[in-house]
Amino acid sequence: METATLERNVPDYKKWNDRLNTSWSCADYARIGVTLQITGEELAEAAEFTPGSKILDVAAGNGNATLAVARRFCDVTSTDYVQPLLDKGRARVEAEGLEADFRIADAQDLPFSDNKFDGVISTFGAMFAPDQQATASELIRVCKPGGKIALASWTPTGFIGRMCRLIGSHMSAAPGFRAPANWGREEWIRDHFEPHASSISFVRKTFNFRYHSPEHFLNFFRTYYGLTRKAFEKVGPDGEKALADDILDLCREFDVATDGSLRAASDYAEVVFVKA
């Protein structure tokens, strides 16, 4: 009986992963991803990867960090488990005359040997993998001792962290669900990475979501952000107005613009640590 209970309580990460893959694939996240490019540049600067270093971009999306690292003449491998996003990243690299390798890979089970890369980077990507412990372990495993792991992750109390929680409140969470914004909590980061680090830096930063209006933001995310799009599909006609109203209220709460547009300031954590 005890064994059966434990088995029922183990999250079905594969099923959950497949659903997330469908969510990311059902819309064109690249339309949103390109607006976040500055975060990839700032993270690459903070990491100070040496030109010529072998760097792995995990859950790269459409390649913000990939481009930033390639611009600094590193040997970058860009990975994601959503092929259309990798294709968008490859097109951007080619358009800018940069160089990068692209490979399908799951952040929870990276197809690379131990200690293969001089550095690992992820901007708002690894944080969304369902099995957080496995993902953290994989980032550490593939990085060489003395190498750097650089992460940008939304905080729980920031705009996007709050929006993720808001969307979740309109839906039933999967068994074993852990909030992606855990990766933006300093305590969580230190618990998972500090035992493997010779040094660690945790800096809170802000990204401004700039849109014509709260309504523009809502429509844009409802169209191009797969998780939001799937949420509206799941709540159906009876729940979509309540969900839309809550997102608009959140936009207005975080809006710091004074000219009638939307400038929602969203906190995120910029983490860089050296593997011991």
Q: Max alpha carbon distance in the chain (Å)?
A: 62
Collect all residues with Cβ–Cβ distance below 8 Å to 61 and sequence separation of at least 6: 29, 30, 33, 80, 82, 85, 89, 123, 124, 125
- Tell me the whole-structure pTM to 2 decimals: 0.92
Strand-pair category, 262-275 with 117-123: unpaired
Q: Looking at residue 174, what is its pLDDT?
A: 65
Instruction: Specify the 3-state DSSP secondary structure of 74.
Output: coil
pLDDT along the chain (276 residues), means of 10: 42 70 78 97 98 98 97 98 95 98 97 98 96 97 98 98 92 76 97 97 98 98 92 91 97 97 98 98
The Cα–Cα gap between 29 and 90 comes to 15
Name which of 125, 21, 143, 131 is nearest 65 in CA terms: 125
Place of tokens 């990204």: 207
Q: Looking at residue 9, what is its pLDDT?
A: 52
Q: Which domains does the chain have, with CATH numbers?
A: 2-157+173-208+267-275 (3.40.50.150)
Q: Looking at residue 178, what is its pLDDT?
A: 86
Q: Looking at residue 175, what is its pLDDT?
A: 64
The Cα–Cα gap between 81 and 54 comes to 20
